[in-house]
Amino acid sequence: MTTQTRPVVYVVDDDQGMLDSTVWLLESVGLNALAFTSGQAFLDACDPTLCACVVLDIRMPAMGGLNVQQALRERGIRMPVIFVSGHADVPIVVRAFKAGAHDFIEKPYNQQLLLDSVQQALSGDTAQQSASQEQTELEARLQSLTPREQDVFMPLVKGCTTREIAALLGVSTKTIDLYRSRVMKRMQARHLPDLVGMAIAAGLVDPLRLG
């Protein structure tokens, strides 16, 4: 796996000693860790296209962890946030979780606890990115259908026969067979159930109303 495709763990802490030890811990298990001593430096360098999470100190000068978390949300970056803090009072913890924090770990932290939390955050992010990519590809295939192919797609998904679709569109059954073949090929569907699944995933049909 190349550096570019490896998951990234951003580590943000104004305590240089804590920052160095956290980066060392993450790198010791093969993770790609990037260190920052301020929230703004992290935000400037943050790449939303990466599979990543951030280990974020809650209390830092100039820009605290909660402000960094808010800035990520305002930018539409849904990166898992793991807060670390030596001052984990209840109101701060509640605010962090209400804003969508993945975890909140007190300093000095248990190393295995932090590693487990990071791995969970990264695996969840990978699954989310994978699902998002599949949805994007599905939408692209749907948009590649010609208007006539779109006319055939929905009746097919709803279980109409070739004869019924031909009557609906006022064309021959041979023509519908041709369009059906094209639809299956463009959508990369091997069987009709594949096509139905794609329509449900795209939100085009309600599975409870099929059949």
List, by residue range, all CATH 3.40.50.2300 domains of the chain. 8-132
Residues contacting 24, CB < 8 A, separation 6+: none
The proportion of the chain whose per-residue pLDDT surpasses 90, expressed as a percent, equals 48
Other Cβ atoms within 10 Å of 136 Cβ, number: 10
pLDDT computed for residue 2 by the predictor: 39
Question: Residue 149 in contact with residue 177, Cβ under 8 Å?
Answer: no
The mean pLDDT value for 24-36 works out to: 95
At 188, give phi and psi (nearest 5°): 60, 40
The class (CATH top level) of 8-132 is: alpha beta
**Confidence band of 1 (pLDDT split at 50, 70, 90):** very low
Q: Give pLDDT tens digits for 34-78.
A: 999 999 999 999 998 888 999 999 989 889 899 999 999 898 888
Q: Report the alpha-carbon distance of residue 20 to residue 17 in Å, rounded.
A: 5
- Spell out the residues 6+ positions from residue 127 whose beta carbon is closer than 8 angstroms to its own: none
Structure tokens at 65: 């962890």
Backbone angles phi, psi at 57, to 5 degrees: -70, 135
CATH top-level class of 144-209: mainly alpha
Q: Which amino acid is at 87?
A: H
For the chain, give the mean pLDDT: 86
The pLDDT, as a whole number, for residue 108 is 83
Going by the DSSP 8-state scheme, the letter that residue 144 receives in this structure is T
Where, residue-wise, is CATH 1.10.10.10 in the chain?
144-209
- Residues facing 9 on adjacent strands: 33, 53
> What's the pLDDT band for 4 if we cut at 50, 70, 90?
very low
Tokens of residue 152, six digits: 């055939």
Q: Kindly report, residue by residue over 134-192, the tens digit of the pLDDT.
A: 778 888 889 999 999 999 999 988 888 999 999 999 999 999 999 999 999 999 887 77
pLDDT score at 152: 93
